[in-house]
Structure 1
């Protein structure tokens, strides 16, 4: 097991511990203060019984989101670190740092489907430790396959993105293969990071991340439908979502180096 996994496991044990209420209040309020969390949509810090409960906090009220089929929405509150067109099979983790989409998706994605995303589009969503950590469906679709790829847990902040080659391919990740009603293909790749004790998927409790295993797990679904805005799960700390679309499907808005919220429209009208 890599040292990043060990550190993350120990931090995870601390974060899920429920300390006496007065100590937990100090921990929670300190976290909110130092990271400048905006808690307007959530419970008061002292109402969370552990730091992990604060990390994975749910919205008190659902956000209003665009429900049309014309556009995709951001799956999370995040910062767009990179986006654009794949150059054949290559996409960017950050400017000047390219990697192979086939390596990211793994060979548990069929050769046919790997071919569909060549020259397609991508967008990277970085969730900082102060962000809302739940992730949502970006569009109405069927989940055809879930692939869990164990790996390291390097940080995914800008310093590491600039120095660690193929970071997203080295880190633990969960890949959702999604298909729209008109048979268009896209992927949502959830990338683990340092101090992420787990990535949780509410529709698939059998997935356990950051455990001592090197075995890739692949689950196929016959009829798993998700609706735009549905909560899929959450990171236990900040991390990254990479979205990849097949060729000639989406026109991405120019959002690189901008902050977005869950529900922000990230595409112009779909191409067909």
Structure 2
């Protein structure tokens, strides 16, 4: 059996287990055990026993909304995560981790050559979410979503150990690509990358995307879909990775590789003019 099939089946099976609501006593034990095993910081969330399944715990919402008090041109981290790599693309090449390059053109399938050319030599940031992180993702800046592309693929792990040994990991894994513009028309992309045991990548504005189920590439286009900075736009069921890519000479990064960030803090800033 092909490895692609095995990893997808494992992920679907885990997703079924995680979404199952066990007897409250057993569910409480599972939740508390997971929190202890993964060393989750639950200070911003409900108590572990209050979640009716592991999926509810994985996709937990904040009890209190975080205050975002930064400049209008600031780009916030969409997630709580580790920055595995960031910097400037070398033409169309970027890093999944030091020493492991891959191609933007291969990552951004179904995106026009004209728009890919606008990204070449631009800035990028990789956000890695471990299983212990808050799994919801939020809008990094006021933005228009012009297109969503669902690309089925493999579900390899995206942890640091696997990033160091598996070439073209982000290119081979299942992913959802969002083509976006800011208020000034700057082009950027948000790429949600699937991983082993990620049962679903959910978008709040697009229910037709069914990850780890639909075998065909699907493209969805939007006329006037605007999202506000800080707004929830979806969640991973388990940890995974987000890659952001920006039009050439459009942003200044405010983070570096190996920084830990939380949703709501500034990670980059659009250049004025």
Q: TM-score, normalised by structure 1?
A: 0.97
Matched, 1:75 2:78: yes
Residues 110-167 of structure 1, C-alpha deviations (whole Å, 9 max, x = no match): 1110100000000000000000000011010100000000000000001110111000
Classify the secondary structure of the residue corresponding to 1:238: coil
Aligned residue runs from structure 1 range 198-237, under 5 A: 198-211=200-213, 213=215, 215-237=216-238
Matched, 1:26 2:29: yes
Q: Structure 2 residue aligned with 1:194, among 172, 193, 196? A: 196
Runs of 4+ in 1 over 3 A off after TM superposition: none
Aligned residue runs from structure 1 range 85-96, under 5 A: 85-96=88-99
Q: 1:113 to 1:270 in 2, by over 3 A?
A: same
Q: Structure 2 residue aligned with 1:122, among 118, 121, 124? A: 124
Structure 1 range deviating more: 247-256 or 78-87: 247-256
Classify the secondary structure of the residue corresponding to 1:266: strand
Check the 8 A contact 2:250/2:270 in 1, yes or no. Answer: no
Shift of 1:267: 1.5
Which position in structure 2 is the counterpart of 1:261? 262
Shift of 1:68: 3.0
Which position in structure 1 is the counterpart of 2:160? 158
Rounded Cα–Cα distance in structure 1 between residues aligned with 2:117 and 2:270? 24
Matched, 1:174 2:176: yes
The size of the alignment, in residue pairs, is 270
Rounded Cα–Cα distance in structure 2 between residues aligned with 1:267 and 1:31? 34
Rounded Cα–Cα distance in structure 1 between residues aligned with 2:227 and 2:12? 31
Could you tell me which runs of 5 or more consecutive residues in structure 1 were left unpaired when the two chains were aligned.
Answer: none
Rounded Cα–Cα distance in structure 1 between residues aligned with 2:72 and 2:152? 34
Check the 8 A contact 2:139/2:227 in 1, yes or no. Answer: yes
Rounded Cα–Cα distance in structure 2 between residues aligned with 1:240 and 1:105? 15
Rounded Cα–Cα distance in structure 2 between residues aligned with 1:42 and 1:135? 16
Structure 1 range deviating more: 115-124 or 246-255: 246-255
Alpha carbon RMSD of aligned pairs, Å? 1.0
Classify the secondary structure of the residue corresponding to 2:188: strand
Rounded Cα–Cα distance in structure 2 between residues aligned with 1:219 and 1:63? 31
Rounded Cα–Cα distance in structure 2 between residues aligned with 1:240 and 1:92? 13
Check the 8 A contact 1:171/1:193 in 2, yes or no. Answer: yes
Which position in structure 1 is the counterpart of 2:141? 139
Shift of 1:212: 5.2
Which position in structure 1 is the counterpart of 2:46? 43
Shift of 1:69: 2.1
Rounded Cα–Cα distance in structure 2 between residues aligned with 1:176 and 1:70? 20
Residues 18-57 of structure 1, C-alpha deviations (whole Å, 9 max, x = no match): 0000000000000011111111111110100000000000
Check the 8 A contact 1:67/1:228 in 2, yes or no. Answer: no
Rounded Cα–Cα distance in structure 2 between residues aligned with 1:126 and 1:52? 19
Shift of 1:67: 5.2
Shift of 1:268: 4.3
Rounded Cα–Cα distance in structure 2 between residues aligned with 1:98 and 1:115? 18
Check the 8 A contact 1:248/1:271 in 2, yes or no. Answer: no
Q: 1:179 to 1:268 in 2, by over 3 A?
A: closer
